[in-house]
Amino acid sequence: MNLSFDLLALQLFTGLALGAIYILLAVGLSLIFGMLTVVNFAHGAFYMLGAYVGLLVYRYTGSFWLSMLLAPVMTGLFGMICERWLIRPLYGRGIDYPLLLTFGLAYMMVEGVRMVFGKSGIPFDTPELLQGATNLGFADFPTYRLFVIGVVAVILLALWLLIEKTSFGLIVRAGARDPVIVRVLGIDVSRVWLIVFGVGTGLAALAGVLSAPLQGVAPEMGTAVLIVAFVVTVVGGMGSLTGAIVAGLIIGVVESMAVLFFPEAAQVSMFVIMAAVLLVRPQGLFGRPGLMA
């Protein structure tokens, strides 16, 4: 197979854009698990809900930028309500109880969207400013995909500053390791849990808004992406934000490159990576042993 450098470079950038969406999903999932030890099976549904909220805001305001702002905020607030009134009463009862609850919550959210918007998919127009292609020197690349990469990079930088450079981030990191000690220090851990769950679901919603112009919106759009989010999280290490970023990039690029070399294996490439990593490091690339115990 004779592949030019330009084609390989374009496919690499496509993989980076795909990996950026995966990173947002996995970071939110890892953040929730690392702090709350909740395996959130409704994460894909929050991703889907964010896309629909973004669609409504875009339709009524005509502003994609406003939909990018309001969809994560509104979905995050809904996530905080779910954490406070549905998930929190199950803390301390074992990891299976929140898992089953979020699994049921996901079905309820999907069916609710079907009742309101119908079962068919709805197109989501790319903002006029971001249409077309940008010349990268070696080839033209869709401007919107470059925009997605840039937005995710800014979000990750802001998240790193929040977690590493603020007192709230210090509490989050300490609470993820030993919430009992944090309580002893007089800190309201439940309030931190509430905020973390809202941020995690808000990131999933932002991923939904960013991916909507690439694939449209549909009630089932969160189902397949939930599997990807868990694969990325497991490969990177449950609860590890660094792992989520590295694994998201690896899986996005490998899946994109597999389309060129082995199209039939593109969909299963992520599972091959997961199996290979788990054989060598059962806790994932950056995970801590015994976190699921």
**CA-to-CA distance for 75 and 8, rounded, in angstroms?**
37
**CA-to-CA distance for 176 and 32, rounded, in angstroms?**
10
**171 versus 77: which is more confidently predicted?**
77
Helix (H, G, I), strand (E, B) or coil at 238: coil
Q: How confident is the model at residue 170 (pLDDT cuts 50, 70, 90)?
A: confident
- Taking 70 as the threshold, does the pLDDT of residue 41 lie above it? yes
Token pair in block for residue 275: 């199996």
Inter-helix orientation angle 189-215/64-82, to 10°:
140
Instruction: Kindly state the percentage of the chain with pLDDT values over 70.
Output: 96
Q: Which residues contact 24 (CB under 8 A, 6 or more apart)?
A: 152, 155, 203, 204, 206, 207, 210
Q: What tens digit of pLDDT does each residue of 88-134 get?
A: 999 888 889 999 999 999 999 999 999 999 999 999 999 999 999 99
Task: Return the DSSP state at 237.
Answer: -
Q: What is the pLDDT of residue 169?
A: 84
Mean pLDDT of 16-22: 94
* End-to-end alpha carbon distance in the chain: 47
Phi, psi of 240 (to 5 degrees): -100, 115
Q: What is the pLDDT of residue 267?
A: 81
**Total-model pTM:** 0.94
Q: How confident is the model at residue 1 (pLDDT cuts 50, 70, 90)?
A: low
- Yes or no: say if 19 and 235 are a contact pair by the CB < 8 Å rule: no
